[in-house]
Amino acid sequence: MSKPVGRRSVLAGLTMAGATPLFAGSLPANPDVVIVGAGAAGLSAGRALARAGVSFVIVEAANRVGGRAWTDTRSLGQPFDHGCSWISAANHNPFVQIGRENGFSLIDHTSPDGDLLDLDGDRADAADRAALNRAWGAVDRAVSRAGRAGRDVPASTVVPDMDWAATVRSWSGAMDYGMDYDRISTADYWESADGQPSFLVREGLGSIVATLAADLPVALGTAVTGIDWSGSGVTVETSDGTIRARACILTVSTGVLNAGHIRFTPALPVSQQQAAADIPMGLLMKVPLLFDGARLGLGENNWVTYRIPEDQPGRACYSVAWPCG
């Protein structure tokens, strides 16, 4: 039995998305393409198909758009990004233009003055900062050199053993990638698009991503449970009915794929299953703390970082003071 995705889901979208007007019309009953996931990738795919005049529908399990880009505007009295907040490699990152065109305030966070480096409870002196910078340079050079040479080995196997190296490894590993250095490939490190300059967004990067949803046909609260691609075209089973289309663009994370939440008929090729298994999700959690006005001598957007003991990398955590005010 085939049932079109319900109108209820679209109406839910109108209330949940706040300032971003979602699609006001009926969802296309027989779209050419079904896009699974309304994160940055799914919404970008939707905008590209809209420009090309291809009919499509975006199916999203959650009750909001954005996925891992999510600005919470309610809990703290100011915008807080639970997910992504930095527009990295801003010289060629399209979210810079999207943000500017939509009136967002982008703040250069490439090398903020006044970052705090703590050493056993005291502020580190100039010599310690210089030693940390030397370690940054040495670690980055070693991992980049291996990656540039085409070596695909754990970054932990090429880093020099030197003072402050544990702090650098934890910063650029657990903090930046959500993975420890023994699980980061030198090749991936070299190929990564992560880079400077880097911008924060006063209104939240999640809010910029959400603008991509404007006027797109998104069915919220609709989880895809199965994709049958055995014949010509695809049949996409959702919690709200079945959709037939010519093609499906799947943007769920490898975490979702590896958990087996979506049943494929026939099963995905082994090489694709292996690729998803080989690129697991990292784990990164942000904890916002609300202060009563005390600013502790820290400037807006300053990093608070400290020396990580070589033998206790799990003790690492990092803070940004008074993000965007």
Ligand X SMILES: Cc1cc2nc3c(=O)[nH]c(=O)nc-3n(C[C@H](O)[C@H](O)[C@H](O)COP(=O)(O)OP(=O)(O)OC[C@H]3O[C@@H](n4cnc5c(N)ncnc54)[C@H](O)[C@@H]3O)c2cc1C
Residue 37 binds to ligand X (criterion: CB under 6 A): yes
User: Using CB under 6 A, which of the segments 123-131, 142-150, 251-259, 313-321 binds ligand X?
Assistant: 251-259
Which of 288, 294, 320 minimizes the C-alpha distance to 78?
Answer: 288
Closest CA to 179 of 281, 253, 77, 276: 281
E strand residue ranges, the chain: 33-36, 56-59, 71-72, 80-81, 106-108, 116-119, 122-123, 199-201, 218-219, 224-228, 234-238, 241-245, 247-250, 263-265, 303-306, 319-320
The beta strand positions in 76-159, using DSSP E, are 80-81, 106-108, 116-119, 122-123
Q: Contact between 17 and ligand X (CB under 6 A)?
A: no
CB of 161 to ligand X, least distance (A): 29
Name the minimum Å distance from CB 66 to ligand X: 7
Which string of x and - marks every residue 213-232 that binds ligand X (by CB under 6 A)?
----------xx--------
Question: Which region among 12-20, 84-92, 100-108, 296-304 touches ligand X (by CB under 6 A)?
Answer: 84-92
State which of residues 33, 36, 187, 220 lies at the interface with ligand X (CB under 6 A). 36
Using alpha carbons, select from 31, 11, 61, 42 the residue that is nearest to residue 210.
42
Q: What angle do CA 40, 193, 114 make, to 5 degrees?
A: 95
Q: Does 252 bind ligand X (CB under 6 A)?
A: yes
Does position 210 bind ligand X by CB under 6 A?
no
CB of 249 to ligand X, least distance (A): 11
Reading the block at residue 170, the tokens are 């934890």
Of 32-40, 127-135, 211-219, 226-234, which segment contacts ligand X by CB under 6 A? 32-40
Which residues contact ligand X (rule: CB under 6 A)?
36-42, 59-62, 67-69, 83-86, 88, 223-224, 251-253, 256, 261-262, 284, 286
